[in-house]
Structure 1
Amino acid sequence: MPFKTAIALILFFSFGNCVSNSKYDSLLKSYEESKLENQRILGEKEGLYKSLEELKRIQEETEQRIREYKGLMETFRSMIDSGKLKIKIIDGRMVVVLSSDILFPVGSAFLSASGTSAIREVTTLLASLEGKRFQIEGHTDDTPTGIKGYTNWELASSRALNVLHTMVKAGMPEVRISAASMGASRPAVPNISPENRSANRRIEIVIVPDLSNLPGMEELKKYSN
């Protein structure tokens, strides 16, 4: 084979190999890029699926709370219509609000006969709400009691405890109920008129919310342990 021909063949095959290697590298790069893009898309799909599931869960919980509120309104409809109580959402909680002026004589922590009857009626209805727990909160206006060593904290506490004991006697299991004194610390309206002070003298029976299903609660449980 002539020398020039041999050189030409060597150059041809060397160039062919270079072209082949370059094409292989290009294909390999395209494959890796495609693989990364697929992983990104799968990650986005998984994130979107989780977001949709979370939105669905939130929507279901919202609908459940609305059903519970409507159900509570219907349960207490007769007492609401007669002006004995109100159902409100306070700080994200469902609350049964009863005026202390209806339940107690002025300045007293002892339930009147009509107040006892009202609490018994409320207890019967609340006890029928399966799986629910309740906290009785006593609230007063800012008028001093006039009794040395006996402030609005003590008055609110005594009223809340007397309501609690009456509810227990009426059939409410002790494990489902508790009491707290708020004194004059959480007025519903400013204490600037007799009407407002009357509104602030109240008993609130809070339906204790179940927080176990809140987002992140499982992680918090693990952390606390």
Structure 2
Amino acid sequence: MKLIPVAAMAAVMLLSSGCVMKSTHEATLQELNQTRAQLGSAQQTIKEQRDEIERNQAQIAKDREEIAKGKSQIEFNNVELSEMEMRKLQLQQDLEAARKELGASQEQLETMKQIEAETQKRNEIYAQFVKELQKMIDGGQLTVSIEKGRIVINLPDEVLFASGSATVNKAGQEALAQIAKALAAFPDRRFQVEGHTDNVPIKSARFPSNWELSTARALSVVHLMIDEGVSADNVSAAGFGEFHPRATNETPEGRALNRRIEIIMLPNLEILSNELPKLAE
């Protein structure tokens, strides 16, 4: 058996150890390169994730901005909607007011038409009174006029009564019979007989003052007119004493004008009652 020298064995062991170390080193380098590659890949992945996060954050910020804009638009729309509702309410109120005004205008127009018709009817009645009473007008027994929208038949007291008396004389009875005939032709109209005196005081057992004298004369005329065919439903009496003079009481002529009987055709109150104040507003 051939023995190997110690030095040779040592050399062989050294060479064998070097081969192992080189192989390990290469394996380590290879593993390191793989680790570096993995690390680089991980870093790239991290960078991509960061970029993605930044993009997401940017999108989130943009979305938040859009949401904020959306909220602002919603608030603006709500304010605008509220204003539109207020304008709508105002328009509805204006429309209702316009409808009421139109209704009032139509009512006023209808009232004006009725007043016009009433005025025309009054003028026709006036013309008929003048025609039927023309002889008495010409004879100075009475006058017929339109005063404050009313037809007024005016008879001086001497035509009907003696001084201080409330009894209608014969000539007065004849005059009142003709007047009653003219009035009876209008059963849908109402008439008021008014007694008036001058301011000369009267004091008697029957007539303590001019109030009683004027009222008694008006009642005498009313009774006679009813007897002549005027409906009692359509005639009334009133006494005014000396308090509605037509002329001055300082002269005989003026006092003579104030002593009178007036027969008034009253206006149609169903037409004129409540509407005239509205028209004046």
TM-score bucket of the superposed structures, by smaller chain? 0.7 to 0.9
Higher helix share: 2
Residues 111-143 of structure 1: per-residue CA shift (max 9 Å, x gap): 222211111111111111132222211111112
Which of these residues, 90, 94, 98, is aligned with residue 41 of structure 1? 94
Q: Distance in 2 between matches of 1:146 and 1:25?
A: 87
Q: Distance in 1 between matches of 2:65 and 2:156?
A: 97
Q: Distance in 1 between matches of 2:263 and 2:236?
A: 10
SS of alignment partner, residue 6 of structure 1 = helix
Matching residue of 1:6: 56
SS of alignment partner, residue 152 of structure 2 = strand
2:120 pairs with 1:67: yes
SS of alignment partner, residue 124 of structure 2 = helix
Which of these residues, 225, 238, 243, is aligned with residue 180 of structure 1? 238
Return closer, same or farther for 1:8/1:128 CA change in 2, 3 Å cut-off: farther
Matching residue of 2:274: 215
Matching residue of 1:56: 109
SS of alignment partner, residue 202 of structure 2 = coil
Matching residue of 2:201: 144
SS of alignment partner, residue 98 of structure 1 = strand
Matching residue of 2:247: 189
Q: How far did residue 99 of structure 1 move?
A: 1.5
Which of these residues, 176, 183, 196, is aligned with residue 126 of structure 1? 183
SS of alignment partner, residue 201 of structure 2 = coil
Which of these residues, 221, 224, 229, is aligned with residue 166 of structure 1? 224
Q: Distance in 1 between matches of 2:90 and 2:213?
A: 68
Q: Distance in 2 between matches of 1:215 and 1:156?
A: 31
Point out where structure 1 has 5 or more consecutive residues left out of the alignment.
218-225
Q: Distance in 2 between matches of 1:125 and 1:14?
A: 97
2:105 pairs with 1:105: no
Q: Which amino acid aligns with 1:215?
A: N
TM-score, structure 2 normalization = 0.67
Q: Distance in 1 between matches of 2:203 and 2:79?
A: 91
TM-score, structure 1 normalization = 0.82
Structure with the bigger RCO (C-alpha within 8 Å, sep 6+) is 1
2:142 pairs with 1:85: yes
When the two chains are superposed, the root-mean-square deviation of aligned CA atoms in Å is 2.6
Return closer, same or farther for 1:145/1:21 CA change in 2, 3 Å cut-off: closer
Q: Distance in 2 between matches of 1:14 and 1:128?
A: 94
Residues 70-94 of structure 1: per-residue CA shift (max 9 Å, x gap): 1222121132542433334556543
Q: How far did residue 206 of structure 1 move?
A: 2.2
Q: How far did residue 19 of structure 1 move?
A: 4.2
Contact 2:173 2:224 in 1 (8 A): yes
SS of alignment partner, residue 240 of structure 2 = strand
Aligned residues: 217
Tell me whether 39-48 or 117-126 shows the greater mean CA deviation: 39-48
Residues 37-86 of structure 1: per-residue CA shift (max 9 Å, x gap): 42143134213303321331342233133213312221211325424333
SS of alignment partner, residue 249 of structure 2 = coil
Q: Distance in 2 between matches of 1:123 and 1:22?
A: 83
Q: Distance in 2 between matches of 1:123 and 1:91?
A: 23
Matching residue of 1:31: 84
The share of aligned pairs that are identical, in percent, is: 29
Point out where structure 2 has 5 or more consecutive residues left out of the alignment.
1-48, 277-281
Return closer, same or farther for 1:20/1:192 CA change in 2, 3 Å cut-off: same
Q: Distance in 2 between matches of 1:47 and 1:11?
A: 57
